[in-house]
Amino acid sequence: MQDIRPGRWRHYKGKDYEVLFTARHSETEEPMVVYRALYGEGGVWVRPAGMWRETVAHQGASLRRFTYTGDMDITLRRTLPSDYRETENLTREAFWNLMGPGCDEHYLLHVMREDPAFIPELDFIAEQKGKILGNIVYTKSRVVNGKGQALDTITFGPVAVLPEYQGRGIGARLIFHTLDLAREMGHRAVIILGHPDYYPRFGFRRARDFGPATAAGETFNPFMALELVPGSLTGGGVYHYAGVYNVDPEKAAAFDKTFPYKEKKQRRTRYDTPLHRHPVGP
């Protein structure tokens, strides 16, 4: 049962739990999970490991019943201006040589925070014992239908986690937390370009299921959407992302020189698109 590790987990309906340990039924030897609620009175419960791992259908999406979101001592907080340089370096480390030689996501993050489309209330970091391990940021976007009517949407990325901490649920916790907050703030839908095998765990589906397409009329698999308000994307339209994502390569290269030297190597992913600003499986 090594895949069910102690730590914080998110139920697909939105509640958080702590896995305390795994065990076996004394009679049947069936694998079991012992966990407690991180809300209310914090009751301790037991559930079969098979149920813990399964997927369920929810609001048109196939979701994991529980998703690991990190160690219990990892905290989330709003990013401060004093954190900017460290998060830029973190983003550089996370994306370096991921989709090609070097990267420009750290420069994108640098200029994004000064752009009118940036949403500072959704700029969050994951921190453990004072060390910043991950960061997520959002920008304003919109979908314009055939009648010229615009629906305000939001887009996240870059989402970055230090390479040595990837695969530990940190990115998942940042995404879950900020999606909850975005919903509370009244945002209606989120549209991203990201790995189509990773983001469905948060409720994202192919944008073609809702109708929106890119300005080029594309609906490829990494083009994904999540309705924070059910039905908000009905009718489709053309997706317009913030212009800040169109990075100037010369300015990005000059900015990169302000960081320690790193060797550039050729490496491309299957989903190398202009807005694919997410490490795979953060």
Superfamily of domain 7-68: DUF1653-like domain (2.30.30.320)
What number does CATH give the domain 74-256?
A: 3.40.630.30
Here the tokens at position 144 are 């314009």
Cβ–Cβ < 8 Å for 276, 193: yes
Q: Above 80 in pLDDT, residue 268? A: no
Sort 173 into a burial class: Cβ within 10 Å, 0-12 / 13-18 / 19+.
buried
Cβ–Cβ < 8 Å for 95, 262: no
More confident residue, 189 or 276: 189
Domain boundaries, the chain: 7-68, 74-256
pLDDT at 276: 45
Residues 96-100: what's their mean pLDDT? Answer: 89
Q: Above 70 in pLDDT, residue 273? A: no
Report how far residue 260's alpha carbon sits from residue 262's, in angstroms, rounded to the nearest whole number: 7
Q: Above 70 in pLDDT, residue 127? A: yes
The percentage of residues in the chain with a pLDDT greater than 70, rounded to a whole number, is 94
Cβ–Cβ < 8 Å for 200, 174: no
More confident residue, 109 or 215: 109
Residues 227-245: what's their mean pLDDT? Answer: 93
pLDDT at 215: 85
Cβ–Cβ < 8 Å for 225, 189: yes
pLDDT at 217: 83
pLDDT at 277: 54
| Nearest to 282, CA basis, from 178, 158, 190, 181 | 158
Calculate the average pLDDT of the chain. 90
Q: Above 70 in pLDDT, residue 267? A: no
pLDDT at 167: 87
Number of C-alpha atoms within 13 angstroms, CB side, residue 1? Answer: 20
Residues 74-93: what's their mean pLDDT? Answer: 97
Cα torsion through 139, 111, 174, 219, rounded to 10: 50
What are 213-225's pLDDT values in tens digits?
988 888 888 999 9
pLDDT at 282: 36
Which positions ≥6 away from 38 have C-beta within 8 Å? Answer: 8, 15, 16, 17, 18
Cβ–Cβ < 8 Å for 34, 23: yes
Q: Could you tell me the pLDDT band of residue 41, with boundaries at 50, 70 and 90?
A: confident
Q: Above 70 in pLDDT, residue 279? A: no
Report how far residue 270's alpha carbon sits from residue 178's, in angstroms, rounded to the nearest whole number: 27
Cα 34-37-227 angle, rounded to 5 deg: 115
pLDDT at 123: 98
More confident residue, 217 or 272: 217
Cβ–Cβ < 8 Å for 227, 189: yes
Phi first, then psi: what are they for 226, rounded to 5°? -135, 125
- Measured in whole angstroms, how far is the alpha carbon of residue 171 from the centre of its chain? 6
Partners of residue 140 on adjacent β-strands: 154
Q: Above 60 in pLDDT, residue 281? A: no
Give the number of other CB atoms < 10 A from CB of residue 268. Answer: 11
